[in-house]
Structures are given as C-alpha cells and as structure tokens.
Chains A and B, each alone.
Chain A
Amino acid sequence: MTARPAARPTPPAVGYWIGFTVVGILLVAAPLVLPPFWQRFATEILVWGLLAMSSDILIGYTGMVSFGHSAFFGLGMYGAAAALLTVTPPSLWLAVLYGLVAAGGAAVFVAYFATRLRDIYFAISTLVFSQIFYVIIFTWTEVTGGENGLTFSQPRLAIPGLWSDRFTPATFHWFVLGMVVVSYLLVRRITQSPFGMVLQSIRENEPRTRAIGYHVERYKIVAVMLSGLFAGLAGVLYAIQNKFAAPDFVFFVVSGEVVIFNVMGGMGTLVGPFAGAAFFLLLREGLSRFFTEYYLIPVGIIFTLMVMFVPQGLLGFLRRRLNP
C-alpha cells in the first residue's frame, strides 16, 4: 500500500479575492458616502472585528476558548493612554508601541500559566487573569484613574520627521482600515504557515500532536501571545478613536461579547469574526432604537436562534449557500 501524498492547501478561489476586493473598496469608500455617525460606527466595527479576529486565532484555530481577551484589549488601551499622557507631543507610533508592549507582556504572563491547562480550565484561568487585571486597574486610581479611566487628546497622524496632520474621522477610518487589512493578511499568512497547521492539529487532536513530537505548550504560548498582540492593537485603535481608556473594557463581559462575535460570524475563518462583530453591533444599535432598554430580549432571541439554526456562523452559512 502506498502512502497518499499530503494534500497541498488549495489556493483560494478567485471568488474569495473578488469578494475581498469588493468589501475593501466599500470600506474605503465608507467615509465618503456615510453620514458622520455611521462613518464612526463603521470604524468601530473594524476595531471590534480586529479584536474578534485576534480571538479567532485561539478559538477557531487552536481550539482554546479564551475569556481573557478583554485584558489584552484593555491593556492595549491603557498602554496607549500611558504614551499619550506621558510623552509630549503625543505620538501615534509610541502609543501603538506602548499598547502592544502592555498587551504582549500581559499575554506572555497569562500564556505561561494558562496554557498548562486545557478546555474549560484554560477558559476559566484566562477569565481569572482578566479579572485580576480588572481589579488592579479599577482600584489603582492614582495611576489608572480607577473607575473614571483616563482621558487624553488624539495624537496626530505622522511620519516621524517628515509629515504630520490632525486625524479627521475619514483619515482615522482609513488608518484603522489599513491596520486591519495588514493584520488580517498577517494572521492569514500565519494560520496557513506550518506553524498555523500545528495549531490546527492541536485543535483537532492534542495528544496526537504531542505524540508526533511537537512541543504543544510552546505553540500554545506563541498562539496566546500573537492573539494578545492583535487584541492589544485593537485596544490601541479604540483608545485613539475615543480618546479614553476605562476599566470597563478589561471586564470579562467584553471577552464574552468577543466570543459571541466569533460564534455569530463563524469560527476559524478570520473574516467571520468581522462579519459577526458587524452583525451584532448593527443589530444592537438598530434594536436599541426601537426597544430602548428592552433591546437585549430580541438580541438574545436572535442569538439563540442563530446558535440553533446557523451554528457554523454567518460565514459558514454563506459558504454552504454559495457552494451547495
């Protein structure tokens, strides 16, 4: 019996790239055609989508459900806030750097301990770590501003030493879009690399991956770090857009929402979490206008129906419809 050659990853369909380009063009054009509120909303969707995508590295590709992403997101915000409040004049790139260092540092710390655990125990340990960060930020008022958080001014969009200009809502949207596209392509490349294949192998069968000879813990640690870095980047962008950092973003509820974005959009797809974030945020915004404080009831019903009837998420559903 001859061994079957390993299946090479199939190149993405032309349709995929056409879809990618069309969505990209629509997002580029968004600030030019949308009213100001929806323009800002579109930018916010991109940021939450980036956070959800970062969590997809763990949930969708490594099979580890994290409830600690609020900590990475929040620390990215506070890292950016630290740069913007302590360095004069405020520097955009330093804010990004500080945010990534804060989120990355926390991710290393969490990963070192949490990756020794599996399944529900991993999820609980990430939740516990995020709550520890929350309590520290909430009570250390002198440094973090406590419950009130920190407010700061928006840095200028600058190429150091060459050019700088104030952000407008449109330029900020394009800046975020650029960051998101680069992040997406980077994560896509990572998940399709041999490293990404090992992560998927861990998801499918961890004991077998270990038996083959891979150091599973190291791969998991790197996965958590990568995920934490992109979550931190989302936090930095959110902080710069809104000009404040608050402990509420470190609270585990944000992590729960990120898991919902993944489930709604489709786990293990990278693009799905963006679709999930957009769907959830638009649904919440739309329904809250009609039902005010009772909007969570229809949101909950829709979410339950989706889990029951579209468990593979919006993207998975679309895939099935397009490729019957």
Chain B
Amino acid sequence: MTERWQDEPWAKDMWWSGKTTRRTFLGLGTAAAGAVGATMLVPAPWRAAFGQARPYKVGVLQPLSGTAAAGGKTALVGTQMAVDRINRSGGLNGRPIELVIADYESKPDVGRRKAEKLVLEDKVDIAEGGYLSNVCLACMPVFEEHRTVWMIGVCLDTTITTTKCSRFVFRPFDYAPAQAVAISPYLVEKMGKKWHIAFLDYAWGQSTRDAYIEQIKKNGGEIVGTTGIPLGTADMAPFVSKISGSFDGIFGIFFGANAVNFTSAIYDLGLTKKYKFAGDGAIAESTHLPALGQKIEGFVGINRYVPVLDPPLNTPHHRKFFDQAVAALKQIDPSGPLPDRYVQSNFEAMNFLKLGIQRSGFRGREDTMKLIEALEGMEVKEGDDFPQGDKTLRKEDHQAFLREFIFTIQNNKHKIVEVVSKEKTVVPPACKFV
C-alpha cells in the first residue's frame, strides 16, 4: 500500500490524477472564462428583428434566491411573457424591450444595491417588479432620487400608495383596503355577523387585519377576537387551540407555507366544522390546493385573480393568457402549476408601461415626467393586455382599482361565487406626493 492514495494503482485510471499543474489549471480556467464570455456574446433573440434600434431597457427586481425565490421566479414569468409578446409584435415605437434582471436575494440591502445598479450602471429607462414589501419600501427612494418610473409587480404593503407614496412609483393591482371593502358585505350578509380574525403577526398581517376590522364593523358585523401568529411558525396548534367561543366564522390572513400550516391546524382541531372559514385569497393559491386537499374545501376567499375559465373569465383574452402562462410555468416547474396573481400582476404591470410609453412618446429617462403623466389616471379595458379585467390607475396615489373575485373551493378547485366591480372596491386616497 502506498502512502498517498493518488499513487494507488486503482487511482491511475481516474480522470484526476491528484496533480493539478499550473498549466492545467490555467488551461481549464481560460476555457471556463471563455465559455462564460461566449454566452455573453450570443445576441439576444430580439436583436435580429430590430437591427440597430436602441432597446428600451427595463430593470426588473425580483427575489430569485433566498426565502422568496419561488414567488420571485413565478412573478418573473409574467414579466417575460409580456415582454416576449411586445417584442414579437414589433416592440414599442419601433424599439424592442430589453430586460435587465436583478436578483435581490430576498434582502432589502441587496435590493437597494441592485436598484442603484439598475439606475446608475445599467442605466435602465424604467423599472418593474418587486415582490417583498420591505424590499419595495427600501428601494422606492432610489427610484425617486434618480427620477425613474417603477411599476411594482407584487408588493402588497398598504403604505406604498398611502403614507409612503411616491410620484415615481405605481401599483397596478389591488391592496388590502380595497379587498376588505369588496368582501366585507359578503362576509356579513351571507356568512355571519360575528368573526374571529387570525393573522400573521407582522406588518402586512397587522395592516390587513386593521382594514378588515374596519370594514366588517362598517357593514354591521362584529369582531369577537383576533389571534396573531408569528411568521414562520411551523406548529400553529398552540395558537389555534385558543380560538373558541360563540362566533360565526374565522377569517384568516396568511400566505405561502404559513397558510398551509394554519389551514391544516384549524382543520385538525375541528374548527372548520364548527365555524365558517374565509380569508385572504393567498390562503388558497392554486399551488396550495394539492397539499391541503379536503382541508380547504368550502373556504371562501377574495383575490384579484383566480385560475379558472368560468364566467366572467371565460374570455378569449384570458384563455390565451392562461394557456401561455401554463406553458411558461411548466418550464420552471415541471409539475405544471396554474398561473397565480403574481404572474397576472407582473404581466399587466408591463402592459401598463407599454401603454404609457406609447401614449407619452417616452424615449428614455429624460421623458420620465411625460410617462408619469400618461400613466396617472390611466383607464384600461379588458383585453389581451389586461386579461384580468378593466382597471383604473388612480392619479392621486398611483393605486390601481380592479374587479375582485369572491370564490370558494369546491372539489379542490376554485369556483367564483361573486364578482365585485372595480367601482365597489374604491377607498379614498391617503397619499400626498412630495
């Protein structure tokens, strides 16, 4: 037996002999660098079609790694679908759109740095995306400082278009106060007057809870109690077991794995048999349904988007969007998930930018104010660009109002039970632009 394993006879046949000479190392290193460089030199697909036309550079901020990676990747699908469609149809003002994608690792400091990179180094003309509210709030001052329009794709925090609103930031989808206004009459009139609210005990859950408390009371209902559960709690039974008393329903404010844990906990403790179960639409996203099975049956929720082709979503526009989204999502997840509200809102966010650019004659960042003016108060109609339905991008706070779907889960599928028109979701603006 030799002293070094590399000198053993069996090691001689291995691809690596245990000796890496400087020459080998440099050779392999150069080859690897060459391969990376070559991929960078391959032209983007749109270049052949648009020749020398300078593209519109759109910076996209998404969490492609870290805790929110799954949602960020899904959201990016919506953006890419819209951009592919725009470029296939001749671009905007004869110019293609080029996406500059930045992964902010689900961290606000990285988000802020990436936002600075987009505006200072990549010199993007406009920005889109954003998933986590804390990152959106951290990045907003960057876009404001550099006078760049940012069309947010997912961030839900209420303050983005209220106390912390910015002239340069738009939210082309709904927020908690509008959803609370939309579903509260249904909750009180059709499900029961007395409610217990269970919520994720952090900023989003707390502000959403407050919006529902206000609206349920306004509609003649009563809140008999609230239960806050810390974010990331795996076993929610100790919290949920304290929910008891005389009331009609439990209203849940949860998302992601927390929603699955909460629903499982109240089902296992028999609360879904004793009380009615309603909540934020994020509890019953299509990705949760296989995991929840029977446990989510009968749940009533509200969402801006539900992946069904029933009326009023049985339009050719929505069918086209739905089919394309399913195909695109299958490329990142072979299990073939159905599209969710993140795909929808990012798809439509890009289309809002498209219309704004077309109407304002936006050429680049020097025309930012023209673009803002074109977007402010923009009314859009249901169609291929906006398969979810009509929308108004309110001038006073840059908050969109759109129709909401109240749905239930039957046989592990979404079923729309009521459609609330966008006019019935409007709440007064609470923003003062500096």
Give A contacts to B, CB under 8 Å: 35-37, 40-41, 44, 135, 138-139, 141, 145-149, 151, 238, 242-244, 246-249, 285, 288, 290, 292-296
Contact = CB atoms under 8 A, between A and B. Distances in A.
B5 interface: no
A145 B134 CA distance: 10
Contact of A146 (B64, B116, B164, B202): B202
A243 B138 CA distance: 8
Given A246-B138, A288-B103, A288-B105, 5 more contacts: A37-B117, A148-B137, A246-B108, A292-B64, A293-B69
A244 B137 contact: yes
B202 A248 contact: no
B410 interface: no
A278 to B, nearest CB: 15
B230 A148 contact: no
Interface residues on B, range: 20 to 34
Given A246-B138, A293-B64, A296-B65, A35 B121 contact: yes
A288 B100 CA distance: 13
B201 interface: yes
Contact of A290 (B36, B105, B117, B206): B36
A136 B203 CA distance: 13
B65 A243 contact: no
Contact of A147 (B134, B140, B228): B134
Contact of A139 (B138, B141, B201): B201
- Chain A binding surface, main DSSP class: helix
Interface of B: 36, 40, 64-65, 69, 101, 103, 105, 107-109, 112-113, 116-117, 120-121, 133-134, 137-138, 140-141, 157, 159, 164, 201-204, 206, 228, 230-231
B134 A151 contact: no
Most chain A CB inside 10 Å of its own CB: which residue of B69, B101, B107, B159 = B107
Nearest to A146: B203
Most chain B CB inside 10 Å of its own CB: which residue of A249, A293, A296 = A293
A243 B230 CA distance: 27
A151 B206 CA distance: 19
Contact of A149 (B103, B120, B134, B230): B134
Contacts of A238: 109
A50 B141 CA distance: 25
Contacts of A293: 64-65, 69, 103
Contacts of B103: 288, 292-293, 295
Contacts of A44: 113
Nearest to A253: B107
A40 B256 CA distance: 35
Given A37-B121, A149-B137, A151-B141, A242 B164 contact: no
B141 A243 contact: yes
6 closest A-B pairs (Cβ-Cβ)? Answer: A146-B203, A293-B64, A37-B120, A293-B65, A147-B203, A37-B121
Nearest to B112: A242
B258 to A, nearest CB: 13
A40 B116 contact: yes
Contacts of A147: 133-134, 202-204, 231
Contacts of A35: 120-121
14 contacts: A37-B120, A139-B228, A141-B206, A146-B203, A147-B202, A147-B231, A151-B137, A151-B138, A248-B107, A288-B103, A290-B36, A292-B101, A293-B103, A295-B103
Given A139-B201, A149-B108, A293-B103, A242 B138 contact: yes
A248 B120 contact: no
A246 B134 contact: yes
A287 to B, nearest CB: 10
A138 B141 contact: no
Nearest to A38: B121
A146 B120 contact: no
A246 B136 CA distance: 12
A39 to B, nearest CB: 9
Contacts of A285: 113
A290 B69 CA distance: 18
Contacts of B202: 138-139, 141, 146-147
Contact of B134 (A37, A41, A248): A248
A257 to B, nearest CB: 10
Nearest to A243: B141
